[in-house]
Amino acid sequence: MGIFDPVKGFGVTFGMMFKKVATEEYPEIGAPAAPRYHGRHQLNRHPDGLEKCVGCELCAWACPADAIFVEGGDNTEEARYSPGERYGADYQINYLRCIGCGLCVEACPTRSLTMINFYELADDNRQDLIWTKEDLLAPLLPGMEQPPHPMRLGDDEQDYYVNGPELARGRGVPEQETVETDTEEAVR
């Protein structure tokens, strides 16, 4: 052991002061997560605010933890929630069961169900951890309108699916963004 060794130790400590800090200031400053982190789910909307969910239950079928409950409903001329015939009338995800695997997102045929970065899923009772459609639906962005309302962007559901990206641009969603990643942005 040399005579300068204690000083060397201080040197290391001193040197660290000029390095980038790895500490995350949580919870004071945000809840960081990688962009593709499997956080909570979000039910996305078409650019005019209609729901993308068609109530097909493929997410529930894919779910290995049986965390998702869906019941379909029939769109009528008076009350339309999604383009086409069918919409998800009841949608629940039980976060006590969800293992965040993302198979539901892969199963979703309309890209209605995606996951966002939000992961603060803790509560003091079981009931509140069953998230319903109101909790899961994406917020209304500018240009969106709370359903039920008629199809604003086309005559049938084909127009919504075929022209989706252009419609989104037309409603003011920026070039590199898709509608469904917006909340991810907001949390970060």
Partner 1 sequence: MTVAPEKSDVDVPEGYVKLTIDGEEVVAPKGELLIRTAERLGTVIPRFCDHPLLDPAGACRQCLVEVEMNGRPMPKPQASCTMTVADGMVVKTQVTSEVADKAQQGVMELLLINHPLDCPICDKGGECPLQNQAMAHGRTDSRFVDKKRTFPKPLPISSQVLLDRERCVLCQRCTRFSDQIAGDPFIDLLERGAHQQIGTAETADVLDAASHTSESDSASAGKSASAGGQPFQSYFSGNTIQICPVGALTSAQYRFRSRPFDLVSTPSVCEHCSSGCAERTDFRRGKVMRKLAGDDPEVNEEWICDKGRFAFRYATAEQRIRRPQVRNAETGELEEASWTEALRAAADGLAKARDGKGVGVLPGGRVTLEDAYAYSKFARVALRTHDVDHRARAHSAEELDFLASRVAADGGPAGGGVTFADLEKAPIALCVALEPEEEAPAVFLRLRKGARANDVKVVHIGQWASPAVEKTFGELLACAPGGEAGAVDGIAQHAPDVDEALRSEGAVVLVGERAAEVPGLPTALHRLAERTGARLAWIPRRAGERGAVEAGTLPTLLPGGRPVTDADARSEVERHWGIEPGTLPAEPGRDVTGMLNAIVTRDLDGLLVGGVDLDDLPDPALARKAFDAAGFVVSLELLPSTVTPYADVVLPIAPVDEKSGTFVNWEGRRRPFTVTLDGTGALADSRVLDTLGVEMDADLFTQTADAARGDLDRLGAHEGTAPKGTSVALSATKVPPGASAEPPAPGDGQALLATWRQLIDDGSLQIDEPALAGTARRVVARMSRATADGLGDHVTVSTDRGSVTLPVEVTDLPDGVVWLPGNSPGSKLRATLGAGHGAVVDIAGGDR
Q: Which residues bind partner 1 (CB under 8 A)?
A: 54-58, 60-61, 71-74, 84-86, 89, 109-110
Q: What is the DSSP letter of 179?
A: G
Q: Which is nearer to partner 1, 180 or 182 (by Cβ)?
A: 180
Work out the number of other CB atoms within 10 angstroms of the CB of residue 144. Answer: 18
Rounded CA separation 141/125 (Å)? 31
Choose between 52 and 171: whose C-beta lies nearer to partner 1.
52
Tokens 């201080």, residue? 10
**Residue found under tokens 């919870």:** 27
Q: Min. distance of Cβ 74 from partner 1 in angstroms?
A: 5
Q: Smallest distance, Å, CB 66 to partner 1?
A: 10
Q: Which two tokens stand for residue 136?
A: 């899961």
By beta-carbon proximity to partner 1, the closer residue of 39 and 55 is 55
Shortest reach from residue 86's CB to partner 1, in Å: 4
- The whole-angstrom separation of Cα 89 and Cα 74 is 8
CA-only gyration radius of the chain, Å: 22
Q: Tell the smallest beta-carbon distance from residue 154 to partner 1 (Å).
A: 14
Cβ proximity to partner 1: between 54 and 144 the closer is 54
Angle at 119 between CA 87 and CA 35, to 5 degrees: 85
Query: For residue 15, what are the CA distances in angstroms to 10, 12, 125, 137?
Result: 8, 5, 47, 48
Cβ of residue 47: shortest distance to partner 1, in angstroms? 20
Report the residue number, 126 or 188, with the smaller CB distance to partner 1: 126
